[in-house]
Structure 1
Amino acid sequence: MKPIRVGIDVGGTFTDAVAIDSDELEILEQVKVPTTHEADEGVAAGIVKAASETLESIDATAEDVVFLAHGTTQATNALLEGDVSKVGVIGMGKGIKGRRGRTETNIENIQLDDNQVIECEHAFVDLADGLQPEEIEQILDQFADDDVESIVASQVFGVDDPTGEEEVCEIASDAGFAAIGANAVSKRYGLKVRTRTAVVNASILPRMIETSLSTEESIGGLGIDAPLMIMRSDGGVMEISEMRSRPIQTILSGPAAGVAGALMYENVTDGIFIEVGGTSSDISIIEKGEPKWKPAEIGNHTTFLETLDIRTEGIAGGSMIRLEDGEVVDVGPRSAHIADLEYAVFADPADIVDPTLVRVRPMDSDPEYVAIETADGSRYALTPSGAANLLGFVTDDMYAAGNPQAARRAFEPLARELDVDVETAARRVLDASVQKLIPVIEELVEEYKLNPNLLELVGGGGGSAALLPYLADVSDYDTRLADNHEIISTIGVGLAMVRDVVERNVMDPTEEDLKRIRREAMDSVVTMGANQKTVETKVEFDKSKNLLRAEAEGSTELQTRDLSQETVSEEDRLIEAATSLDVDEGDVEKEYETSGLDIYETSETTERLFGLLSKTSTRVSIVNKAGVTKLKLDDAAIYETNGESLLYTVDRVLDSESTYSNSATKLPNVYICHGSQILDVSGVSDREQVTSLVEIELSDVPADEKLVIVAEKP
């Protein structure tokens, strides 16, 4: 049997699993089992059942599994439902600078949704005479009397010297507490925010540790040797042992899995990914092959946790319809699932007899939504899925495919109420539905200054066919559904890379600073299970925040991020480049290439002032040998070089492509194509730092190796 990657997505109702051929990326099997909330082992029982059924169905053994990961909503649910432990914070400091630690580590109770709260107790230790274990033990005894379960150790400048935090955590662990140092959660300065982030993390530690141990033990019973990985909120995975210290990293694990699928399976380079379920849609951005991030807010407080920027809207395939004065005034946020109604579109047409329109309140405090009641008293929900099937936007191969005849019969009472024909009634429902998505898409395009010429909308999730094809019909967006769209999140879990991010506040980073943070990020992902030969890093510096950031990711197997993809013909690669740039094939030329990448270009002229002024720009598409677009740029210059002349050419690029105004200099975004990889140094704004990063990352490139530098105009 070939090596297999297994991805498992634990949802509120079902647990989905997929088996993926690790060599060919072929989906071998998918399995759906009920999520086992009530089992003695909790959701672990469902994870084991899904994994074992998946392997059995393809006649595979535990030895065939080279990667096993699951996504989880437990951290998110714990914070939403208030299933958190009381946290004791031990602040530490010494001298005049340490005094502020007394107030900045004294975190007030953190209010969560629905009047839930993370309760906090606080004590401060003056380190003028060093750390005294007896004093810590006395504090812990008091915390135990106050029902504290988790400990946060937070020291002034603990990111520079974490020794004190580590000693306190060791004493606390020996005393039976779950414990974490603030430095382990974030390496950034900002004692109050760092401590608050650690408090949120600590509040879910006991529950997550308990669940992870149960899951690991259950999976171990299957005989799988591959380490159990957990989906992170940034689209990567980490070993379950690492999750026991940083469970906060799994918040938004579910939506992040869909984005991982869009990146790894669908190879989205520049797009907006919309994952549509039964109740809500998650909307996220991918630009230049990278998702966008934002600091997570918990209880209206900023944290140092970076999550994918995902906007959630209460519209999906199962959303219900609201009417007022003979008009469709809203679709959602309540869904058929909340109202405990079946979708009319999935009913037998013979059961939809003499339907009448009725009003229902899914929850007692809700406004009225419409449904239908048939002759035998059965009730069904009218949904966007029904409208899309009725109008023919859902084909038989789509997950949302139902019975158009049943949908037509069900929508007839709605059409009578609206005084229109059935098709018009269905369109009004879908118009109201997509109008909840379009403003969010437009907002993201504006906020991130996305280039519409390079943008595509990609739909995933079981309900995506209910909305995306209609959105394509009524808008100018280039829109498509992902392959295997209904399980794109589960695929994302199965294909995710081991990932970590290290951030430090540095005033003016030196070459040694760049090397150190890069090495720290690489060491972290290797420790979490990544094969060192597969690890890729990206270092960037935000001068406005003095924030140095290193991202590292790698595979547990000897593979690159592209995993394994067959080479396609040069003609197919040309077609892909033309498609990605939205031009005819005859307008695209390949002038440059490396051993693993083809660089295509096309010219575009724009006119201003009624044609008196014009500008010609070079648009670039970089396509790998498997025919996947890795990068698209709208205004760039291309330079060819080799390993021996690389640094000289980089200097020439920076001289030629930078823009100068008064005393300010804006550097171009620089991308260096080498072999089948692209070194991205676009996040660095200092010339010396660009040169240092290139020298660090490409120091082992042979002198005669051909490289291509693409510089995006600032």
Structure 2
Amino acid sequence: MKESAVLGIDAGGTHTDAVLITGNGASPRLAASAKVKTRHDDLPASVREVLAALAGELGGAGAAFLAEVERVTLGTTLAVNALVQGRADSVGLALSAGPGLDPARFGLGEHVCVIPGGLDHRGVEVSPLQTDELARRAARWRDEGVAAVACVGKFSPRNPAHERAMGAAAVKASSLPVTLGHRLSGRLNFPRRVATAYYNAAVQRLHNDFLDVVEAALADAGIHAATRLLKADGGAVPTSLSRREPVQSILSGPAASVMGVMALCPETEQGCSLLLDMGGTTTDMALFFDGSPVIDRDGMLLQGRRTLVRALASTSIGVGGDSLLSVDGSGRDARVRTGPLRDGPALAFGGARPTLLDALNVLDAEAAPGASADRGDMAASREGLATLAAAHGLDARVLAQKAVDDALAQVALAARELVEAVNARPIYTLAALKAVREARPERVWLVGGPADCIRERLGAALGLPVASPPHAAVANAVGAALTLPTAGLEIYADTGRGLLRAPALDLEERISKGYTLNAAERRAGELLAAHLAAEGVPDAAVEVVEADLFATLDDGGYGSKDIRVACQVVPGIAGRL
């Protein structure tokens, strides 16, 4: 039997990695891996370079081997990096809530327009929508550099009519791309749906440009396989779907590292462990419990705002191998800070300013005095830190130790805060959507570029054993390659009005007065399975994760039922290396 081959690509802020994994069934093998510098000024070149390097690892038949790839899965931190660095697009935000709290208090950005009109909790209009002001504002937004519009109505999952009218008015006046909140989630949390729609609009252009670049580079390399992108919950979706909902993949980079550790570390099957993925720019952290990552039931957190995006429980801090060192003061009292800024590579790799990796090189100079592939030019690190130290009355080794101590303290604090935040409420994992006992890490898995340089020091700082799996430097790409497809769907049924709605699909169906919760559960599963099949993912195993029924009385005093059902395909990996 011909072996299957899957390709995983992870485009990070510092490096772009790729792996080719072969093998049928649940026995995958790493056939080749490659790593190149991410060229932010020429991302297509980065992707072409990593594919060429991968083909080179495969030898003379490399190009032919890549042409036989059956599936490509991508992970990237480019969108979240854009948000953190203020490079995301400016968004015009149109809000409608009707009576009650002023929706402007939930606004984001500098361009917010509150539109008169609203619906009640059942989706019945209580005041007509008035879009004249939105049309005027949207025309100005275009001239002010706004690149996209997000429209959100408070009860749009129950009735998207007002939200659709808002979107139509914005498009007519501005010709800008529009995100409608009800298409992203059917949950009735207005502030979180505002944030979800806003961030979706903010990264949509960057996200689609990235996919355009990667798909063109894959085609140039002779790869025409189905392409998917990781989501924040550790699953993967076809790029056609991801283009419409880029907010789901803003945290695909941390998700890739989590799924990579699942694939590389069978020891995560027992007890609780902490994942640390230290790259050039950030350190990403997540928790495992009995072999499955812990999920954040409150929704993905972006820039202090909760969204309605299901995500793994993770956190990121600006500490990585290329994090800049800064010094405040002089002599013994000088304070050395590591990160959060990054300005190119370490001195050891041709950079202009000292970084954490350079500090590690100085401390380890006696053990590894020359240049190495992992550490670069040790002499360049020593010279750069000596110059910075002299300017502040310090010895180079003292400065280096202060920098490393600060980095370790930041990692240890963030790890403690993640553990405490997870344990502050019931814990749920991807494998078992039920509360489990308290999670306290018993060991640490460390992946990423600087892993070998800092492993022992991290163990001392955390008071836990720290280990790195084989292929740790390309764990994210491994995770991408082996991640299974997933998706979720929510439906609402109102027997009083005789309507069933699937907001994310823009679907409405008539139902009977006697419609039941069991019928709604079956219908939700059918709709999600059909949706995935249409996107090229047939035979998905769907399960119901939430089902609620509320008895209500309409204005005439007649009884009816409000039903909500959420179902999903649980993320996972195709096998372990």
Shared fold per TM-score greater than 0.5:
yes
How far does residue 503 in structure 1 lie from its aligned partner after superposition?
Answer: 5.6
Deviation digits for residues 101-158 of structure 1, max 9, x if unmatched? 8953x577524xxxxx5x233444679999xxx9879965762354165344444532
1:463 maps to 450
CA distance in 2, matches of 1:453, 1:109: 37
DSSP-derived class of the 2:309 partner: strand
1:491 equivalent in alignment to 2:508: no
1:655 maps to none
1:384 maps to 360
Amino acid at match of 1:333: G
Deviation digits for residues 173-198 of structure 1, max 9, x if unmatched? 68844223211111111334323421
The percentage of counterpart residues that share the same residue type is 19
Name the CA shift for 1:552/1:302 in 2 (closer, same or farther; >3 Å).
same
2:539 maps to 532
How far does residue 467 in structure 1 lie from its aligned partner after superposition?
Answer: 2.1
Name the CA shift for 1:99/1:565 in 2 (closer, same or farther; >3 Å).
closer
Deviation digits for residues 10-50 of structure 1, max 9, x if unmatched? 233442222122434322222334434434xxx24432443
Name the CA shift for 1:453/1:213 in 2 (closer, same or farther; >3 Å).
closer
The equivalent position to 2:308 in structure 1, one of 292, 298, 304, is 304
CA distance in 1, matches of 2:231, 2:124: 40
Contact 2:115 2:133 in 1 (8 A): no
TM-score (norm. length: structure 2): 0.70
1:263 equivalent in alignment to 2:262: yes
CA distance in 2, matches of 1:129, 1:187: 16
1:158 maps to 156
2:234 maps to 235
Residues 161-560 of structure 1: pairs in structure 2 closer than 5 A: 161-162=159-160, 165=163, 176-267=175-266, 268-269=268-269, 270-288=272-290, 289-293=292-296, 294-298=298-302, 300-319=304-323, 320=325, 322=327, 324-326=330-332, 329-333=335-339, 338=343, 342-343=347-348, 382-388=358-364, 390=366, 400=374, 430-449=404-423, 455-473=442-460, 476-502=463-489, 510-512=517-519, 514-519=521-526, 521-532=528-539, 535=541, 537=543, 539=545, 550-553=567-570
1:75 maps to 79
Amino acid at match of 1:492: G
Amino acid at match of 1:471: L
Of 478-487 and 467-476, more deviation after overlay is shown by: 467-476
Amino acid at match of 1:274: L
Residues 40-189 of structure 1: pairs in structure 2 closer than 5 A: 43-55=43-55, 57-58=57-58, 59=62, 60-79=64-83, 80-87=85-92, 89=94, 91=96, 99-100=98-99, 103-104=102-103, 110-111=108-109, 117=110, 119-124=111-116, 140=135, 143-147=138-142, 149-162=147-160, 165=163, 176-189=175-188
Contact 1:316 1:467 in 2 (8 A): no
CA distance in 2, matches of 1:280, 1:154: 33
CA distance in 1, matches of 2:462, 2:98: 59
Name the CA shift for 1:528/1:13 in 2 (closer, same or farther; >3 Å).
same
CA distance in 2, matches of 1:145, 1:401: 52
DSSP-derived class of the 1:121 partner: strand
Of 319-328 and 296-305, more deviation after overlay is shown by: 319-328
Name the CA shift for 1:57/1:239 in 2 (closer, same or farther; >3 Å).
same
Deviation digits for residues 606-661 of structure 1, max 9, x if unmatched? xxxxxxxxxxxxxxxxxxxxxxxxxxxxxxxxxxxxxxxxxxxxxxxxxxxxxxxx
DSSP-derived class of the 2:186 partner: coil
Larger Rg belongs to: 1
DSSP-derived class of the 1:230 partner: strand
Contact 2:235 2:486 in 1 (8 A): yes
CA distance in 2, matches of 1:101, 1:219: 51
CA distance in 2, matches of 1:327, 1:547: 60
Higher relative contact order (CA 8 A, sep 6+): 2
How far does residue 219 in structure 1 lie from its aligned partner after superposition?
Answer: 3.3
Name the CA shift for 1:410/1:219 in 2 (closer, same or farther; >3 Å).
closer
Deviation digits for residues 501-522 of structure 1, max 9, x if unmatched? 4467999x95455545555555
How far does residue 488 in structure 1 lie from its aligned partner after superposition?
Answer: 1.3
CA distance in 2, matches of 1:298, 1:524: 28
CA distance in 2, matches of 1:7, 1:170: 39
1:661 maps to none
CA distance in 2, matches of 1:52, 1:272: 34
Contact 2:7 2:20 in 1 (8 A): yes
Amino acid at match of 1:51: L
Amino acid at match of 2:34: V
Question: How many residues are paired up?
Answer: 504
How far does residue 208 in structure 1 lie from its aligned partner after superposition?
Answer: 3.4
Amino acid at match of 2:113: E
Give 5+ residue unaligned stretches, structure 2: 424-436, 495-515, 550-562
CA distance in 1, matches of 2:359, 2:35: 24
2:6 maps to 5
User: Relative to total residues, which structure has the larger strand share, 1 or 2?
Assistant: 1
How far does residue 460 in structure 1 lie from its aligned partner after superposition?
Answer: 0.7
Contact 1:25 1:564 in 2 (8 A): yes
How far does residue 333 in structure 1 lie from its aligned partner after superposition?
Answer: 2.0
Deviation digits for residues 65-88 of structure 1, max 9, x if unmatched? 111122233432443324314425
Amino acid at match of 1:89: A
Name the CA shift for 1:441/1:87 in 2 (closer, same or farther; >3 Å).
closer
Contact 1:22 1:564 in 2 (8 A): no
**How well do the aligned residues superpose, as a CA RMSD in angstroms?**
4.8
Deviation digits for residues 284-341 of structure 1, max 9, x if unmatched? 2222312332534445443323433333334444454758543674451267x63875
Contact 1:6 1:69 in 2 (8 A): yes
Amino acid at match of 1:384: L
CA distance in 1, matches of 2:115, 2:439: 54
